[in-house]
A and B are shown apart, each in its own frame.
Chain A
Amino acid sequence: MEYNIYLLITFAALATYATRVGGHLVLSRFGRINHRVEAALDAVPTAVLTALVAPSLVNQTLAETIAILAAGALSLRFSPAVSVAGGMLIVVLLRQVF
Chain B
Amino acid sequence: MSRDGLILSVISEEVPRSQWWAGAKEAFPILPTIVPFAAVFGALAVERGLTLGQIMFASGTIYAGASQYAMLDLMGQGVAPWLIVATVFAINFRHILYSAAMGRTLGAFGHFQRYLAFGMMVDPQFAVTMARSRKEPIRPSFYFGYAVFVYITWMTSNLLGALFGRLLEDPSRFGFDLILPLYFIGLIMGFRSSATFVPVLVVSVVGALGVYYTLGSPWHITLGGLCGLVVAAVLSKPPLEGEVEAKEERADGV
Contact = CB atoms under 8 A, between A and B. Distances in A.
B183 A15 contact: no
Interface of A: 1, 3, 5-13, 15-28, 32, 35-58, 64, 67-69, 71-72, 74-76, 80-81, 83-85, 87-88, 91-92, 95
B123 A49 contact: yes
22 contacts: A6-B57, A19-B92, A19-B95, A21-B99, A21-B118, A22-B95, A24-B102, A27-B103, A32-B251, A37-B233, A40-B230, A43-B196, A44-B130, A48-B222, A57-B181, A67-B178, A69-B185, A72-B188, A80-B183, A80-B186, A83-B182, A85-B29
Interface stretch (B10-18, B62-70, B142-150, B163-171): B62-70
Nearest to A76: B189
Contacts, number: 269
Contacts of B130: 44-45
Given A24-B99, A54-B212, A9 B54 contact: yes
Interface in B154-201: 175, 178-179, 181-191, 194, 196-197, 200-201
A54 B213 CA distance: 12
Interface stretch (B1-9, B34-42, B81-89): B81-89
Nearest to A64: B178
B215 interface: no
A85 B238 CA distance: 42
Interface of B: 26, 28-30, 49-50, 54, 57-58, 61-64, 67, 71, 75, 78, 81, 84-86, 88-89, 92-104, 115, 118-119, 121, 123, 126-127, 130-131, 175, 178-179, 181-191, 194, 196-197, 200-201, 203-205, 207-209, 212, 217, 220-239, 248, 251
